[in-house]
Homo-oligomer: A and B are copies of this chain.
Amino acid sequence: MSNQETLQVQHKNSKQRERIFQILCSTDSHPTADWVYAKLKPEIPSLSLGTVYRNLRILMERAKIRRLENGSSFDRLMPISMRIIISFVNCVNQVMDVELPHNETLNSEAARVTGFQIDDHRIDFTGICKDCLSPS
């Protein structure tokens, strides 16, 4: 009936989860959980923040989205399909994507040095943005 190893959980459709995922796919701003909640609240007035977090977790478990801890106090989210955007520049008041070509060499280098099987990487740059360099 049920798998010996992993208890199979049946998935049910949920409007909330579906819309949360769609919203994450519709932006490349890597929004926070709270932003997703605020965005969806007018459309689904009954929506609660707990539901958003619960569904984000489910979407992560099902490998639909990725969560980034980027130094601010909020985690940021993006669909798993956004593969190229895995790099950031962090300035005091700006976070920006860096679209560098994916560098597979880094992965094999790290694999060699550590003995790990390396799946992916993410590069966080720190620096100063144009606005901070020359304030208007």
Q: Are A111 and B127 in contact (CB under 8 A)?
A: yes
A113 / chain B contacts, CB cutoff of 8 Å: 98-100
What is the count of identical protomers in the complex?
2
* Chain A 83-99 interface mask (CB, 8 Å, partner B; 1/0): 00001010100001011
| Nearest CB of B to A21, in Å | 21
Alpha-carbon separation in the docked complex, A118 to B96 (Å): 12
Q: Which residue of B lies closest to A124 (CB)?
A: B122
A129 / chain B contacts, CB cutoff of 8 Å: 114-116
Q: Are B126 and A119 in contact (CB under 8 A)?
A: yes
Decide if A7 is an interface residue (CB 8 Å cutoff).
no
Decide if A49 is an interface residue (CB 8 Å cutoff).
no
Which of A28-36, A38-46, A102-110 makes up part of the contact surface?
A102-110
A133 / chain B contacts, CB cutoff of 8 Å: 117
With A100-B109, A109-B100 known as contacts, the answer to whether A114 contacts B126 (CB < 8 A) is no
28 A–B pairs (Cβ distance < 8 Å), ordered by A: A69-B69, A87-B110, A89-B114, A89-B116, A89-B118, A96-B114, A98-B110, A98-B113, A98-B114, A99-B113, A100-B109, A100-B113, A110-B127, A114-B125, A116-B125, A116-B127, A117-B133, A118-B125, A118-B126, A118-B127, A119-B125, A119-B127, A119-B128, A120-B126, A120-B127, A121-B125, A122-B123, A123-B124
